Structure 1
Amino acid sequence: MTIDWTSFTPWMSLTGGMLIGLAAVVFLLFNGRIAGISGILGGLLNPTPGDIAWRIAFVAGLVISPFVFALASPLPEARVDAGYATLLVAGLLVGIGTRYGSGCTSGHGVCGLSRRSPRSAVATLSFMLAGFVTVYIVRHLAN
């Protein structure tokens, strides 16, 4: 493995991680809810009256934030080395996994681990291991 030192940005990565953690804490303190993206999006698909506005605001913030970031710094190149069919299947598998796992990386990995949830620890280890195995198979065994 080699590191592309021109693209290595530890300070920006650390800052981004701290902002994600801070946002999760603020969201929990002010709303009493976990900042799990799959749960927030799922609530938009099956809306409860009085529960829609904050979900739309949260998702809008996710969509708008790269444009705000672009005002301060150029956006990194986005490159996806997969076709539409692969992306569709991957998206469906992630969606199914978040339903079976009762959450996603933000819900379990960020919020659950910080609350020392054993269930979130098992879920995070499971999806990280599945990701590692998938990348290994696709990059080393499937070619």
Structure 2
Amino acid sequence: MEFLYGTWHWAISGFLIGLMMLVLIYFGKSFGMSSNLRTLCTIAGAGKHSDFFKFDWREQKWNLAVVLGAILGGFVAYHFLSNGTGVELNPKTIEQLVTMNIDAPNGKLVPDAIFGMDILQTPKGFLILLLGGILIGFGTRYAGGCTSGHAISGLSNLQLPSLIAVIGFFIGGLVMAHIILPLIF
């Protein structure tokens, strides 16, 4: 049972993702979370307000299993496969957070100073989250997909635009973590 409650080796996830990509390629499908969100918005009636959401969502309904699986998988992992110790961060990461006056997550996935409910009550925190959401939404549309779609599906299909997008994602993440985030906090 120790295997179930400890941190799983990255190769297990990599193998399972690779196996899933082979299945999707075999059936002529592609993967990406932003596609799922587009489908959900279309089901909710967003096509009345934007042509982007006017398509036959029934052709993509198989993809909604990914959303359901992500929700159920997270629930099962948290409630049944976790030993309660949470996430262990590298001590150097904790030191960097402290220099920016950000508390260590203490076993959580994200620190409360950035993603806690209290941040929504400050104008600065609300604007940061709002601007971040707008940039993510814009970037996803501009890049023609999200990180999971490009990095997992696009790269496995050897698509050059996906390689360019993934390189951009990594550069953007590094710039955010090492330049912009310290300026904000």
Q: Identify whether the pair has TM-score above 0.5, normalized to the shorter chain.
A: yes
Partner SS for 2:145: coil
Residue 74 in structure 1 maps to residue 83 in structure 2: yes
Asked whether the 8 Å contact 1:28–1:35 carries over to 2, the reply is no
Alignment of 1:62-141 (within 5 A): 62-70=70-78, 71-74=80-83, 76=86, 77-80=108-111, 81-82=113-114, 83-84=119-120, 85=126, 86-141=128-183
- The Cα shift of 1:139 comes to 4.1
Partner SS for 2:40: helix
User: TM-score normalized by structure 1?
Assistant: 0.76
User: TM-score normalized by structure 2?
Assistant: 0.61
Asked whether the 8 Å contact 1:35–1:111 carries over to 2, the reply is yes
Query: What 5-or-longer segments of structure 2 have no aligned partner?
Result: 1-6, 44-55, 87-107, 121-125
Query: What 5-or-longer segments of structure 1 have no aligned partner?
Result: 1-8
Q: Deviations over 1:21-58 (max 9, x none)?
A: 3223323333x221111122212222525235323322
Query: What is aligned with 1:27?
Result: 24
**Cα 1:120–1:49 shift into 2, 3 Å:** closer
**Cα 1:68–1:117 shift into 2, 3 Å:** same
Query: What is aligned with 2:34?
Result: 38
Using the alignment, how far apart are the partners of 1:141 and 1:50 within structure 2?
45
Query: What is aligned with 2:69?
Result: 61
What amino acid sits opposite 2:39 in the alignment?
Answer: G
Asked whether the 8 Å contact 1:38–1:104 carries over to 2, the reply is yes
**Cα 1:92–1:18 shift into 2, 3 Å:** farther
What amino acid sits opposite 2:109 in the alignment?
Answer: A
Bigger Rg, structure 1 or 2: 2
What amino acid sits opposite 2:82 in the alignment?
Answer: S
- The Cα shift of 1:129 comes to 0.6
- The Cα shift of 1:15 comes to 1.9
Query: What is aligned with 2:105?
Result: none
Q: Deviations over 1:106-137 (max 9, x none)?
A: 11111111222111111111121111111111
Figure out how many residues of one structure are paired with residues of the other and give that number.
Answer: 133
Alignment of 1:10-21 (within 5 A): 11-21=8-18
Greater shift, 15-24 or 109-118, is seen at 15-24
